[in-house]
Structure 1
Amino acid sequence: MKSFKGWSLVAFTLTILLIVSGCSDSASGDSTREMGDKSGRGSGNGKDKLVIGLDDDPPQLDPHLSSTAVDRQVLHSLFDKLVDIDEDMNIVPKLAKDWDISDDNQTYTFYLQEGVVFHDGTPFNAEAVKFNFDRMLDPAMGSPRYGEVEQVEQVNVIDELTVEVQLKTPFSPFLGDLTDRAGMMLSPTAVKESGEDFSRHPVGTGPYQFVERELQSHIKVSRFDEYWGEPAIIKDVLYKPYTDENIRLTNLISGDVDMITVVGFKDIKKIEGNSAVKLSAKEGRGFLGLHLNPAKAPFNNKDFREAINIAIDRQAITNVVYHGAALPAVSAFPPASWAHNPSLEVPKGDLTKAKSLLEKSGIKDPSFTIKVKPVETDKQMAEMVQSMLQEIGVTVNVEMQEIGSLLSSAIAGDYEALYLGWDGRTDPDGSVSRFFMSNGYNNYAKVNNPEIDKLLTDARVSLDQEERKKIYQRFSEVVFDEANYIFLVHIDENKAMKTNVNGFIHYPDGMIRPDRIYFD
């Protein structure tokens, strides 16, 4: 039995143990406690409402049904998870204060925090944990979380504060998956009472409780006075959607918005040059790139795919489209990820070699269409690729589709090339298996490579990070060589806020946890 006692999976050395203990939830708030009264309630200037500008109106406030990033920004105030991440992506305690993993890596025993209650006053306990897992696993539920918990064989209540989760097979990404919506705990009583309307009256154990919602206007949450942990500093948080990034920025600079979750790349210089606001940037964990469909010509020709891969100048795209707020990509894993392969070099637009590969392919007068979302950055990217490939004699057409239609095209395999990415996950598996395993949920081109399947399966079974690192490095080499997906950029994760907003901790997952924020 391996006893982790709440520490990160990678915390096997004293140094890492010290880092994790210094980044626990209670410690992370220390720098914000200079203001307000000793309870941490209120803020230094008397302002007690934080207004957060979102990039869209959240479709879903039920974590088990959520499938968008904007949902998550609100959910983090309402729902605690069994485990969370710290600033270095280590897994740390939350509702589960300790945990053990059996020697065969298939049984996780969670020891729960005492004295935790849901916003409706009902107790959080082992029975509630079992209820949440059972709900996500119910086929009738159709939960987007199912793929993250499908390895769960059964959940056993040991006692009121101890719960045992048995997996079908060893699955090393399990704890990482629980740092997102799969680990958020919903009130069983509220779910049973609200039924399909739970999203309209969400009830969790988080530092804030739901107050009201007006579609396309705002979502209001208020400090939960019976919170089990350190109480939220600011009393009320108001989330307001602004789909137009210009309007969103204007409201930040001169309106009543205190911070925004998404910053337009073209606006970064404006923010850096404005004394009323400040920018917080962190290297992103996701990726953007081109799906190439090997089931359709000309991408059924590997030489042609390779030619496209090396002809594209990623650095130019980074500079022009993303205004330097990105890194050129060559795999799913950015340099900040422990799974990154430093031996893979990012192509710099080698037109001579690309022309040679194109000639080797035997394809005459090649052309294809890229499908992209109708947003400025995607359009600019496509136009740059169009211009670059014209230099080697390839004609590229650009077709814009709304995100719903684009995803439908991807799922149906109705495309030659399309531009989509992923925002990354705590565990590397969550960023790649869904796209590159033969049975992956997002394997849009239905690529079937036995070596990739074996590598990713082996990585899921091992709990040894060094072993997994070697596996993912080899995986990245194979995927680059196959060139069914052309990795282009890792975009930075940017947040902007008024200068009087303090205490914000920029976590790698990009989610705002508002309870430690305060005003000067």
Structure 2
Amino acid sequence: MLNRRSILATGAIAAVPLAAPWGALAKTSKDTVVLAMTLEPPGLDPTAGAASAIAEIVHYNIFETLTKINADGSVSPLLAESWEVSPDLKTYTLRLRRGVKFSNGVPFTADAVKFSFDRAGSDKSTNKDKRTFASLTTQVVDDHTVVLIHKDIDPDFLFVLGQATAIIVEPKSAATNATRPVGTGPYVLGAWNKGASITLNAWPGFRAPASIKMRRATFRFISDPAAQVAALLAGDVDAFARVTPRSVAQFKA
């Protein structure tokens, strides 16, 4: 991530999670952040399109997954608190987090997990990981226990469950998530000014409000390389998740 203080030479990031990693800015009493992106997403439902810009805004912010992929590539619990894997490595029994709600007030249960994965693998699915979900059988044991049976052994399955294509959606909102996303994450859509910016607001109903460091986050879309550099140098944006490589030399100087 490129900001006014440092340059980190990494590859493309999968998402810009806002709930945890902004402690440095928060310590300066700054509770809003402006992030810049090169491309504007075509929609806000990562199960409906392959554009990486979608997940960069909504993954872990609005929508959550059963597991979370950490910066070092490891996987930790998120909506699933724990899990057990069968000896043949094909069956996963997951215990779900209790007390979780979607931003429209509907409780998160195993039924939402089954709906999400059945939908992702259905004939009408446009999910880019449709093949993975089509080979999955989801069984509801009770409200907080779900069993996932994979046809084949996939050593990366828990990692896959943390990707944006595996978000858990609220069934009644699924059809409109591209423009009015409803998730269990710490943020909700505030405004979308097409061609200019998207703003996310902290959701007061989130299960762990103390973890939300930023009250508001604005994603500005700046495609021109010169304008990207100018915005960073002027302080108009706090960070640029993806920046044109040829611009890095200006910051090194």
Q: Smaller-chain TM-score range?
A: 0.7 to 0.9
CA distance in 1, matches of 2:120, 2:155: 19
CA contact (8 A) 1:148 1:182 kept: no
SS at match of 1:98: strand
CA contact (8 A) 1:95 1:113 kept: yes
CA distance in 2, matches of 1:222, 1:31: 15
Is 2:180 the partner of 1:201?
Answer: yes
Which of residues 124, 127, 137 is equivalent to 2:121? 137
1:153-302 pair list within 5 angstroms: 154-191=137-174, 195=175, 197-229=176-208, 230-273=210-253
- Name the CA shift for 1:225/1:31 in 2 (closer, same or farther; >3 Å): closer
- Name the CA shift for 1:135/1:31 in 2 (closer, same or farther; >3 Å): closer
CA contact (8 A) 2:81 2:97 kept: yes
Task: Report the equivalent of 2:90.
Answer: 106
Deviation at 1:238, TM superposition (A): 0.6
Deviation at 1:248, TM superposition (A): 1.5
SS at match of 1:147: helix
CA distance in 1, matches of 2:236, 2:191: 19
Equivalent residue pairs, number: 233
Higher relative contact order (CA 8 A, sep 6+): 2
CA distance in 2, matches of 1:66, 1:228: 28
SS at match of 1:251: helix
Instruction: Give the residue type in structure 1 aligned to 2:201.
Output: S
Instruction: Give the residue type in structure 1 aligned to 2:127.
Output: S
- Name the CA shift for 1:256/1:235 in 2 (closer, same or farther; >3 Å): same
Instruction: Give the residue type in structure 2 aligned to 1:74.
Output: I
Task: Report the equivalent of 1:48.
Answer: 31
Output one character per residue of 1:423-445: Cα deviation in whole Å (capped at 9) or x when no partner. Answer: xxxxxxxxxxxxxxxxxxxxxxx
Of Structure 1 and Structure 2, the greater helix share is in 1
Output one character per residue of 1:83-124: Cα deviation in whole Å (capped at 9) or x when no partner. Answer: 112232111111111011111111111111111111111111
SS at match of 2:220: strand
CA distance in 2, matches of 1:242, 1:29: 25
Deviation at 1:234, TM superposition (A): 1.0
Flag structure 2 segments of 5+ consecutive residues without an equivalent. Answer: 1-18
CA distance in 1, matches of 2:73, 2:163: 12
CA distance in 2, matches of 1:55, 1:173: 30
Deviation at 1:46, TM superposition (A): 3.7
Task: Report the equivalent of 1:82.
Answer: 66
CA distance in 2, matches of 1:131, 1:189: 10
Instruction: Give the residue type in structure 1 aligned to 2:177.
Output: F
Instruction: Give the residue type in structure 2 aligned to 1:208.
Output: Y
Task: Report the equivalent of 1:62.
Answer: 45
SS at match of 1:246: helix
Which of residues 109, 116, 119 is equivalent to 1:125? 109
SS at match of 2:178: helix
Instruction: Give the residue type in structure 2 aligned to 1:107.
Output: T
CA distance in 2, matches of 1:82, 1:235: 25
Instruction: Give the residue type in structure 1 aligned to 2:227.
Output: I
Instruction: Give the residue type in structure 1 aligned to 2:197.
Output: H
Deviation at 1:66, TM superposition (A): 2.5
CA distance in 2, matches of 1:31, 1:73: 16
Instruction: Give the residue type in structure 2 aligned to 1:79.
Output: F
Task: Report the equivalent of 1:279.
Answer: none
Task: Report the equivalent of 1:350.
Answer: none
SS at match of 1:200: coil
SS at match of 2:33: strand
Task: Report the equivalent of 2:4.
Answer: none
Instruction: Give the residue type in structure 2 aligned to 1:117.
Output: K
Percent identity of paired positions between Structure 1 and Structure 2: 26
TM-score by length of 2: 0.85
- Name the CA shift for 1:68/1:31 in 2 (closer, same or farther; >3 Å): closer
Instruction: Give the residue type in structure 2 aligned to 1:215.
Output: K
Deviation at 1:257, TM superposition (A): 1.0
Instruction: Give the residue type in structure 1 aligned to 2:225.
Output: E
Is 2:100 the partner of 1:116?
Answer: yes
CA distance in 1, matches of 2:190, 2:170: 16
Q: Which segments of structure 1 move beyond 4 Å, counting only runs of 4 or more?
A: 28-31
CA distance in 1, matches of 2:74, 2:177: 31
SS at match of 1:50: strand
